Amino acid sequence: MSSRSQTIADTLTRAIIDHRLVPGCKLGERELAEIFDVSRIVVRQALIRLADDGLAQIERNRGAFVARPSMQEAMEIYDALTLVEQGVAAQLSDRLGPAGWAELRQHVERQRQAVAAGNDALADVLGQEFHTVFVRLSRNKVMQEIHAQLVRRTTLLRSLISADFDYCNLLDDHSRVVDLLEKGRLKQAMDLIDTHHRTVVRGYIMDREVFPEMTPAEALAPYLDGKADGATISAGLRQAKPSGNGDGAVHAHVHLPNKDRASTSRASTKKTNRGLPT
Amino acid sequence: MSSRSQTIADTLTRAIIDHRLVPGCKLGERELAEIFDVSRIVVRQALIRLADDGLAQIERNRGAFVARPSMQEAMEIYDALTLVEQGVAAQLSDRLGPAGWAELRQHVERQRQAVAAGNDALADVLGQEFHTVFVRLSRNKVMQEIHAQLVRRTTLLRSLISADFDYCNLLDDHSRVVDLLEKGRLKQAMDLIDTHHRTVVRGYIMDREVFPEMTPAEALAPYLDGKADGATISAGLRQAKPSGNGDGAVHAHVHLPNKDRASTSRASTKKTNRGLPT
DNA sequence: AAATCATTGATTGGTATCCAATCTTGTGAT
DNA sequence: ATCACAAGATTGGATACCAATCAATGATTT
């Protein structure tokens, strides 16, 4: 039972990760207070947490907004992610036992099955999760938290960004990294990790306008079915997952033909126009 | 002008870094509210920020305390720090230009002069700063922030810990790292970084009780001369710096002969008793 | 006397209301 | 059309208050 501001921060984080709250979206205190049915102060505390995580930006006397990282920051985040994962790779290549390698292989296999079954949404989640599992095997909670924070920020970028590269080449990277590491070819594995992220970030096109298609109230509705406790998050995740495929929420690991991209930006300009200036 | 809770969080952070607030110290809302002359709500927001930074721990319905990392966590923090600095080293060995190397050398030289002049306090600060400068040269703000956070947490450990190793060997590590990197001997530089941190952490002895000898009011007094704005921090730093040498707050980079260590722990039990038993 | 249980007090998490400062917006004058 | 200014809205913060929980004390029982 953590504090209410923490659960609200978690819910907002979830909503941002699910691309239901897009970069630049205004997070008004009064509005959120009504949505979550709490006082403004609790909301502000949640927003402080989000800002500390780099997911929101608080401008004095102007309020909080979902963070809108610059291209520069995007590259920095991916550089940091690369650095962390390369470091973890170096540690694992020395210290990881058979059980660890098995877990990694099992995860890759599950993702492969999801892809084979055409379940792109599941494959997407598993693809994300791989990196998390990878870092978890370092058995370093501090590192895990740093990594998780970076990963959350990359999901921000994916709202802001149009992925435009060949996903097929990335699909097997995880498997190959595991292979290389287990064979002790650390240098190659690290290069592959670097290439993996560089390929992702190179495909990004920034300076795109992002038009929120939902008010925060609509965006957050799926997370509020029951009372605001732990179950809320997973419930929200369950409902939000299809949206990751159906609306403008594009995950990098999703195989997404170009025609779908076009339809995404079309629907946006119409409704609420909380969209960003410039 | 950032929010008041931010400046209070900064002040508390400064006080923790200066070892005026020691691990386990209770940070009562009402007490801090009176000290800073603000409402409890602002204090709570500041405490949330500290907790997000890993410097405080908030226990539900019990309040906030200065974090008391376990030995496990201490090792994780140093592992993470090693990983980050090794990664940065790898980047710099490729990309750093002459100006960068010059800056590093200049910094090492300044520290050397401080040591030569017997100004241990300054040498200590410069020794800390070296790591920060090092990471800053990566020109990655995200990485800088992660690193700075880790460094702040290591200062926590130094309150909790008794350093018991040969400082002389560490004294030239910075210089040697720069040398190795500039010569392209990346592997050796990375090993040295690892050894550097391992030596530090190996000397640590945890499970020691830490007795705060000041109430938070006394601990925070130096930071409150003027109004609570930017100047407060540096004023506090100025006043707090000598304490890093005068009392039991031992920084790992300080050159400290063994005989002085004895006298240090002696003086500590008397004056402020931050000195750790064992 | 020691151990357990209950009451009391203090602290936290949170709400509601209020206020000043600032930002945004809409209106009016040029 | 542009600029200045007033009105409204929003934020940052203060104060007062309440419920829940923890801690400590004292009372009760063995």
Question: Do B34 and B121 fall within a single domain?
Answer: no
Q: How many domains does chain A contain in total? A: 2
Judge contact between A132 and A151, C-beta under 8 A.
yes
**pLDDT band, residue A127 (cuts 50/70/90):** confident
**pLDDT band, residue B201 (cuts 50/70/90):** confident
Question: Do B90 and B201 fall within a single domain?
Answer: yes
Task: Say if B105 falls within a structural domain.
Answer: yes
Cα B256 to Cα A141, B78, B167, B238, distances in angstroms:
32, 21, 7, 22
Whether B87 and A91 lie within 8 Å, measured CB to CB: no
Tens digits of residue pLDDT in B141-186: 999 999 999 999 998 888 776 554 445 556 689 999 999 999 999 9
Contacts of A7 in chain B (CB under 8 A): none
Question: Do A80 and A199 fall within a single domain?
Answer: yes
Question: Do B152 and B47 fall within a single domain?
Answer: no
Whether B48 and A44 lie within 8 Å, measured CB to CB: no
Residue A127 lies in domain:
71-205
Tens digits of residue pLDDT in A180-215: 999 999 999 999 999 988 887 876 655 555 566 677
Question: Do B104 and B86 fall within a single domain?
Answer: yes
Task: Please give, rounded to a whole number of angstroms, the shortest distance from the CA of A161 to a CA of chain B.
Answer: 19
- End-to-end, the C-alpha distance of chain B in Å comes to 45
Instruction: For chain B, positions 148-167, list CB contacts with chain A under 8 A.
Output: 150
**For residues A231-250, average pLDDT:** 35
Question: Do B36 and B104 fall within a single domain?
Answer: no
Question: Do B145 and B230 fall within a single domain?
Answer: no
Give residue numbers, 11 to 30 of B, with CB < 7 Å from strand C.
28-30
**For residues B80-91, average pLDDT:** 97
* Phi, psi for residue B251 in degrees, rounded to 5: -90, 145
Task: Say if B263 falls within a structural domain.
Answer: no
Contacts of B58 in chain A (CB under 8 A): 3
Whether B44 and A49 lie within 8 Å, measured CB to CB: no
Q: How far, in Å, is the CA of B58 from the C1' of nucleotide D12?
A: 24
Please report, for the domain that includes residue A152, its CATH number.
1.20.120.530
Tens digits of residue pLDDT in A73-103: 999 999 999 999 999 999 999 999 999 999 9
Would the pLDDT of A120 be above 50? yes
**Residue of B83, B187, B193 to mutate when probing chain A, most A C-beta within 10 A:** B83
Q: Is the dihedral of CA A102, A108, A109, A110 positive or negative?
A: positive
Nearest to A155 by CA among A253, A234, A46: A253
Q: Is the model more confident about B200 or about A64?
A: A64
Task: Say if B255 falls within a structural domain.
Answer: no
Task: Say if A265 falls within a structural domain.
Answer: no
Question: Do A125 and A162 fall within a single domain?
Answer: yes
Would the pLDDT of B244 be above 70? no
Question: Do A63 and A82 fall within a single domain?
Answer: no
Task: Say if A263 falls within a structural domain.
Answer: no
Question: Do A38 and A116 fall within a single domain?
Answer: no
Mean pLDDT, all residues of chain A: 78
Helix or strand or coil: residue B3?
A: coil
Please give the pLDDT value at position B71.
85
Question: Do A119 and A185 fall within a single domain?
Answer: yes
Question: Do B98 and B59 fall within a single domain?
Answer: no
Instruction: For chain B, positions 55-94, list CB contacts with chain A under 8 A.
Output: 58, 60, 73, 76-77, 79-80, 83-84, 86-88, 90-91
Please report, for the domain that includes residue B20, its CATH number.
1.10.10.10
**For residues B33-43, average pLDDT:** 96
* Phi, psi for residue B218 in degrees, rounded to 5: -70, -40
